[in-house]
Structure 1
Amino acid sequence: MFKILIIEDEPTIAEILAENIDRWGFEAHVIKDFHNILGEFAEVNPQLVLLDIQLPSFDGFYWCQKIREVSNVPIIFISSRTTNMDIVMAMNMGGDDYITKPFELDVVIAKIQAILRRTYSYQETNTDVITYNDILLNIKDSTVHHNELQCELTKNEFKILYILIKKHGEIISRDHLMRELWNTDSFIDDNTLTVNINRLRKKLSQIHLDDLIETKKSLGYIIK
C-alpha cells in the first residue's frame, strides 16, 4: 500500500485529504509536529508527499529542499498561493506538481494516481525504487522496506529478492537464480544459494515478512 504524507497546516483540509486518500486505498499520514517534519518523514517513509507552502516556522519551500536532500520521493504542492513565481519556485525546489486551493478532490486523487503510476509502475527504467504490494525495494542502497520497518541486504540477497518480486507469481528455479547471481557456467556449490536464501528469509522475518518467499519442493521459489 502506498503511503502518502500530508504536510498541511489547516486541520480541516488535512483531515479531508486524509479521509479521501484512505478511501481510495492509499495510506494517509498527517504531520503532527511541524518542528520535526524530517523526523516524521523518515518514520513514515512515504511514496508521495502533499506539501503546503504556508506552514509554521519554515515554509513549504524550505521543507521541500530538506526532503530533497535525503529523498527523491514525488512531492505535490497544494497551496492558496497562485502566482507564477510561487509555482516556478516550487518546481525549482524539487516539486513534481502544483495544485491551487480551493481544489477539487477528484483532481487531487487523479494527480496522485498519475504520479504514483508514473513513478513506480515503470520503476526499472525510471527510478531507483521498485514496489510490490506494501514492500519497497531501494536499488540504490540495497534496502527493503515494509510498513515502518526496513533492513539492509547484501548484494546477492537483494538480487534474489529483486528477481522473485520482478517475476512474482512464477516459480523460479534454483538453477536460474544461480545463473543470475553468479553469471557463470562454472560449477557453483548448490549450498551457497541455500545459505543466501536462508539469510534473506531471516532478515525478512525481522520486518514481518516471514512467509514472503515460498519454497516449491524440487522446483524452486515463488513470491505469490
Structure 2
Amino acid sequence: MKYDCLIVDDEIELAEATCEYFQVFGITAACVKTSAECLDFLKENQVKVILLDINLENESGFTLCKQLREQMEIPILFISARQSDDDILIALNIGGDDYIKKPYSLSVLLAKVKVILKRFDGFEGKKSATEAIVVDDDARKIYVEGQEVALKNKEYNLFSYLYHNRNKVISKEELFEKIWGDEFFSDGTLNVHIRKIREKIERNPNEPKYIKTVWGIGYMMEL
C-alpha cells in the first residue's frame, strides 16, 4: 500500500491521534512503535515522509535514521521531547530533514508535512521522494536524492532540458540552440556549464552518475 506519512513513535496514543488528525486533512498515515516494525512496514508499503522519535523504548531513532539513510532518501522529520542543541545537531547531521520538539502543535506538524509532500507531489511529471531527481519547472527548483540543489539560470535551463529529454542523447548543437539561442557560445561554454552542474549534483563529478558525456555527439541524462 501507499501512505503519505509513517510515524515511528513508542508513545502510541500520541502517534495514533496524529494519524487520525492527518487523515481528516487527507494525509494518509500509519504508525509503528519500534525500529523493527518500521523496517518491516517499509518492506511491504511505500511511504513519502517519516516522522521519527529519538527514544523508541530501548532503541534509538538515531540508529534507525542511519539505517534508513543507507537504503533510501525519503524525508525524515525527527519528533522528540529532547530539547538540547546537541540532539538537534546530531539529528540533522545524520540525515534528518527537520526537528520538531514535543509537545508539538498538530496544526504546525501538519503544515510541515504538507510542505514536504507538496515538494514531491505538487507538479506534473515529477518523481516521488524515493526517486533520484525531481524537477519543479514552476518554481524553477530541482531536488537530487531528496535535497534541493541551487542552480544559476543557465544551469537550470540546461539541466531541465536534459531532464525532460532524459535517457536520450542530446547533441551539442541542439543544446546550443535551445539554451543559448542567438547568443555567442562555444564548446567551452557548454563544457563549463556541464562541469558546474556535475559539481553540484554528482557525488563524484569525475565519475558522473546522471549526466553522461557521449563523446563526439553531446550529453545524456541517465535515469
- Return the offset for 1:3: 2.0
When residues 182 and 9 of structure 1 are mapped into structure 2, their CA distance, relative to the original with a 3 A threshold, is closer
1:79 aligned partner: 80
Please tell me whether the aligned partners of residues 22 and 29 of structure 2 are also in contact (alpha carbons under 8 angstroms).
yes
1:218 aligned partner: none
- Return the offset for 1:115: 1.6
Letter in 2 for 1:117: K
When residues 58 and 30 of structure 1 are mapped into structure 2, their CA distance, relative to the original with a 3 A threshold, is same
Please tell me whether the aligned partners of residues 7 and 30 of structure 1 are also in contact (alpha carbons under 8 angstroms).
yes
When residues 83 and 90 of structure 1 are mapped into structure 2, their CA distance, relative to the original with a 3 A threshold, is same
**C-alpha distance after superposition, 1:113-135 (max 9, x if no partner):** 112223444697xxxx715xxxx
Letter in 1 for 2:127: I
| Corresponding residue SS for 1:130 | coil
- Return the offset for 1:28: 0.6
Task: Extract unaligned runs of 5+ from structure 1.
Answer: 141-178, 185-224
For 1:53 and 1:106, the matched residues in 2 are separated by 21
- Return the offset for 1:93: 1.1
For 2:62 and 2:78, the matched residues in 1 are separated by 9
- Return the offset for 1:42: 2.4
For 1:60 and 1:123, the matched residues in 2 are separated by 34
1:214 aligned partner: none
Please tell me whether the aligned partners of residues 10 and 57 of structure 2 are also in contact (alpha carbons under 8 angstroms).
yes
Superposed, 1:48-87 pairs within 5 Å as: 48-87=49-88
2:38 aligned partner: 37
For 1:180 and 1:68, the matched residues in 2 are separated by 26
For 1:85 and 1:180, the matched residues in 2 are separated by 42
Please tell me whether the aligned partners of residues 123 and 130 of structure 1 are also in contact (alpha carbons under 8 angstroms).
no
Give aligned pairs, total.
138
Q: 2:127 aligns with which of 130, 151, 160?
A: 130
Coordinate RMSD, CA, aligned: 2.9
For 2:130 and 2:81, the matched residues in 1 are separated by 35
For 2:89 and 2:130, the matched residues in 1 are separated by 32
**C-alpha distance after superposition, 1:162-188 (max 9, x if no partner):** xxxxxxxxxxxxxxxxx998779xxxx
For 1:70 and 1:53, the matched residues in 2 are separated by 19
TM-score norm. by structure 1 comes to: 0.54
Please tell me whether the aligned partners of residues 10 and 33 of structure 2 are also in contact (alpha carbons under 8 angstroms).
no
Please tell me whether the aligned partners of residues 8 and 52 of structure 2 are also in contact (alpha carbons under 8 angstroms).
yes
1:47 aligned partner: 48
**C-alpha distance after superposition, 1:95-115 (max 9, x if no partner):** 001110111111000100112
| Corresponding residue SS for 1:46 | strand
| Corresponding residue SS for 1:40 | helix
Please tell me whether the aligned partners of residues 6 and 28 of structure 1 are also in contact (alpha carbons under 8 angstroms).
yes
1:116 aligned partner: 117
| Corresponding residue SS for 2:59 | coil
For 1:181 and 1:113, the matched residues in 2 are separated by 31
When residues 111 and 180 of structure 1 are mapped into structure 2, their CA distance, relative to the original with a 3 A threshold, is closer
| Corresponding residue SS for 2:56 | coil
Matched, 1:9 2:6: no
- Return the offset for 1:59: 0.6
For 2:6 and 2:77, the matched residues in 1 are separated by 10
